[in-house]
Amino acid sequence: MGTMELTLGRWLLTFLPIAVLLVTIVGLKWGAPKAGAAAWFVALAVAIIGFGGDAFLVALASAKGLSLSIFVLSIIWSSVFLYNVAEQLGAPRVIGETLARLVADPLLQALVIAWCFSSFLQGITGFGVPVAVAAPLLIIVGVPPVQAAVMTLIGHSWAVTFGSVGSSYYTLQLVTRLAPEQLAPWMAFSFALPIITCGFGVAHVQGGVPAMRRAALPVLLAGSVMAVLMWLFAYLGAPQIASTLPSLVGCLVLWLVGRSAPAVRRVEPPIAGGSMDGPLAGKLGFNAAFLPYYALIGLTVAGQVPAVKAALGNVAWGLDYPAYQTSLGYQVLAENLYAKISLLSHPAPIIVAAALLSFAYYRLAGFWRPGVGRAAARLTVKQCVPTSVGIAATVMMALIMNDAGMTTLLAHGIANATGPLFPLLSPFIGVLGCFMTGSNTTSNVMFGALQYETARGLGVSTVLISAAQSVGGSLGSIVAPAKVLIGAVVVGLTGREGEVMGRAIPYCLVLVLLVGIQTWLFVYVLFRELT
Amino acid sequence: MKKTTKLTVACAIIFADFPLLYHGTVISRDPAVAVATLVVLAMGVGLALAS
């Protein structure tokens, strides 16, 4: 790989593109596309001036960045389009109201909507949709606006990494090059604690410590089931549904608890008001509303059948990239089928197939109406263009830093400065990335390789540290300004975002600190032998 | 130009430039082509910066 002398000046130079991102997003309140663009230019200049790169290296790294962006953005565009089609037909509202009617206890309603249903939405879409859909449902069942926004922000945060049909997880796996069969199960294992603590967080917002005590049985029961299922799907090679299905089963467990445990059941009016607002919501039953997601789950499971795998497992698209060396001697290895999109294991083809199946059903059943596809496409373009530019610019910046040897140097500096405390701080780096960009995926692009390299430098488990990065990035969604803004707007608190943020920050800090302690214990005490 | 239009054009330039960038850096490995396509990419990113 080549070595470069680590000096404070060189380390600060390396940090410059990230500092630009931080200052422009947090200080100047720029959006991700603009801030990412500024950081790309700075990374380009630093790579050429300080790290022996040239225009060819920058072009090559940017091309790799665009390869990786296409990998991630194909998931984002297809899942957002699928959701928008469902939304045009009123499906999310039907699903949410059905789930809210499952239980009568306000505490269980809060858990069903904010902890499980919002996580289900995160599993299939993301990008603020869980907050936008679940927070108004909480208001319908009588939760005050600030609590509704904070509960949803906390409740869905455990589902972000494997959410958006796995985009953050896949991105981390690509940038760290860890084996999927190793990374996915350990990642899911690391999420067991946050799954449960997010449930307790929602309960605390609902009614303080007494509510936490009352919620102990449902949260521990549903949380354990969701944690085991998340691990199982990750282990079985289906990370794209490792948030979606567990959160649905979580709803079911909470429903069973609500029916069978009088200690947590209180008779309250089930739903105070509200109505289904989709054009066909009155006609659409739960199963029809849920059809796109039945199809998504069914196709994902079908893709794991050995005969299907044998027939279609090798159908994939990816690009080869040559090896390269900077004038300072940093070597970049050649890549074969970089950012490979496989027909069976990449979520985008599966989502497209699910959308086509759903379209066929809705047409035949008479639920479809002219203009739905066009309206959904228009909305998808509006939502996804800024995200695409932001992700492309940030990913290209991250790849320039990687290929010029900047990330390695940055990581060595952090490892030297923090030493054995690094595992404790590792998830906070993930939070920082998500806070800056509003995206666990972008956080993983920015810091995934850095965390991996730092772990290598310290001689500790790269798998556990990489997992901690993404767990931190996932929980960072609680305080990411982009999501807080959505939460505040949908509950009618425009201009009072600070109130929501102020309530959410302490929960985020506590949850991430617990993950930091867990990571330190995993790395130095419980799983010392893990590489 | 409106911010949304600028971002849409920036997005189009960046992703339309990708095949050319790949050709210049990987297939032809011609530094002149690579630099030319990098300049186009910089224009797309620059437009995003100006949005």
Listed range (A205-209, A300-304, A422-426, A453-457) with the worst mean pLDDT: A300-304
Residue in the structure block whose two tokens are 């969701």: A226
Break chain A down into helix, strand, coil percent, rounded to 5. Answer: 75, 5, 20
Cβ distance B22 to A62 less than 8 Å, yes or no, reads no
Q: Using one digit for the tens of pLDDT, what is the confidence trace for A236-248?
A: 988 988 999 999 9
Chain B residues closer than 8 Å to A56 by CB: 25, 31, 34-35
- For A259, half-sphere exposure in the C-beta direction (CA atoms, 13 angstrom radius) is 8
Q: Would you state the pLDDT for residue A110?
A: 94
For chain A, positions 359-398, list CB contacts with chain B under 8 A. 381-382, 385-386, 388-389, 392-393, 396
Quote the CA–CA distance of A468 and A124 in Å, as a whole number. Answer: 23
Quote the CA–CA distance of A62 and B39 in Å, as a whole number. Answer: 12
Residue A282 backbone phi and psi in degrees, to 5: -65, -35
Q: Would you state the pLDDT for residue A193?
A: 97
Q: Which residue of A has its CA nearest to B22?
A: A63
Quote the CA–CA distance of A82 and A204 in Å, as a whole number. Answer: 34
pLDDT higher than 50, residue A266: no
Q: Would you state the pLDDT for residue A234?
A: 95
Q: Would you state the pLDDT for residue A273?
A: 38
Query: Using 50, 70 and 90 to split pLDDT, how confident is the model at A68?
Result: confident
Q: Would you state the pLDDT for residue A3?
A: 58
Cβ distance B38 to A33 less than 8 Å, yes or no, reads no
Q: Which residue has the higher pLDDT, A492 or A177?
A: A177
3-state secondary structure of A408: helix
8 A C-beta contact, residue A476 and residue A431? yes
Q: Using one digit for the tens of pLDDT, what is the confidence trace for A183-195?
A: 999 999 999 999 9
Q: Would you state the pLDDT for residue A427?
A: 94
8 A C-beta contact, residue A466 and residue A172? yes
Chain B residues closer than 8 Å to A37 by CB: 10, 45-46, 48-49
Cβ distance A389 to B14 less than 8 Å, yes or no, reads yes
For chain A, positions 9-38, list CB contacts with chain B under 8 A. 31, 33-34, 36-38
Q: Which residue has the higher pLDDT, A381 or A133?
A: A381
Q: Would you state the pLDDT for residue A510?
A: 97
**Three-class SS of A464-499:** HHHHHHHHHHHHHHHCCHHHHHHHHHHCCCCCCHHH
A265 class by beta-carbon count within 10 Å (0-12 exposed, 13-18 middle, 19+ buried):
middle
Q: Would you state the pLDDT for residue A212?
A: 97
Cross-strand bridge partners of residue A342 = A316
8 A C-beta contact, residue A404 and residue A51? yes
pLDDT higher than 90, residue B12: yes
8 A C-beta contact, residue A203 and residue A211? yes
Q: Give the percent of chain A with pLDDT over 70.
A: 93
Q: Give the percent of chain A with pLDDT over 90.
A: 41
The answer for residues whose C-beta is within 8 angstroms of residue A58's C-beta and 6 or more apart is: A44, A47, A48, A400, B38
Q: Using one digit for the tens of pLDDT, what is the confidence trace for A366-388?
A: 888 888 889 999 988 888 888 88
pLDDT higher than 90, residue A213: yes
Our CA-based measurement puts residue A435 at a distance from the nearest CA of chain B, in whole angstroms, of 20
Quote the CA–CA distance of B46 and B51 in Å, as a whole number. Answer: 9
Listed range (A21-35, A217-231, A310-324, B33-47) with the worst mean pLDDT: A21-35
Chain A residues closer than 8 Å to B16 by CB: none
- With an 8 Å Cβ cutoff, is A319 touching chain B? yes
Quote the CA–CA distance of A161 and A171 in Å, as a whole number. Answer: 10
| Chain B residue set in contact with A, beta carbons under 8 Å | 4, 7-8, 10-11, 14-15, 18, 21-22, 24-26, 29, 31, 34-35, 37-38, 41-42, 45-46, 48-49, 51
Cβ distance B35 to A55 less than 8 Å, yes or no, reads yes
Distances (CA, A) of A32 to A374, A378, A384, A389: 27, 21, 12, 8
Cα dihedral value A201, A205, A208, A210, nearest 10? -70
pLDDT higher than 50, residue A233: yes
- Tell me how far the alpha carbon of residue A4 is from its chain's centroid: 34
pLDDT higher than 90, residue A167: no
Quote the CA–CA distance of A325 and A328 in Å, as a whole number. Answer: 8
8 A C-beta contact, residue A292 and residue A85? yes
Listed range (A8-12, A142-146, A319-323, A498-502) with the worst mean pLDDT: A498-502
Our CA-based measurement puts residue B29 at a distance from the nearest CA of chain A, in whole angstroms, of 9
Amino acid at residue number A45: A
8 A C-beta contact, residue A247 and residue A309? no
The rounded mean pLDDT for chain A is 86
Residue in the structure block whose two tokens are 């080549």: A2
Strand A331-332, strand A335-342: pairing: unpaired
Q: Which residue has the higher pLDDT, A80 or A508?
A: A508
Complex ipTM above 0.95?
yes
Cβ distance A389 to B11 less than 8 Å, yes or no, reads yes
Cβ distance B41 to A388 less than 8 Å, yes or no, reads no
Specify the DSSP class assigned to residue A273: S
Tell which residue, A217, A221, A241, has the closest CA to residue A300.
A241
Q: Using one digit for the tens of pLDDT, what is the confidence trace for A411-439?
A: 778 878 888 999 999 999 998 888 766 78
Cβ distance B7 to A389 less than 8 Å, yes or no, reads yes
Listed range (A15-29, A203-217, A291-305, A505-519) with the worst mean pLDDT: A291-305
Two tokens at A443?
């956080």
CB-nearest to A56 from B7, B10, B25 is B25
Q: Would you state the pLDDT for residue A455?
A: 93
* Mean local confidence (pLDDT), A194-199: 97
Tell which residue, A118, A147, A102, A153, has the closest CA to residue A271.
A102
CB-nearest to A321 from B10, B26, B49 is B26
Size of chain B, expressed as the number of residues it contains: 51
First to last CA, chain A: 20
Going through A288-427 in order, the beta strands assigned E by DSSP cover 316-321, 324-325, 331-332, 335-342
Tell which residue, A265, A271, A375, A296, has the closest CA to residue A125.
A296
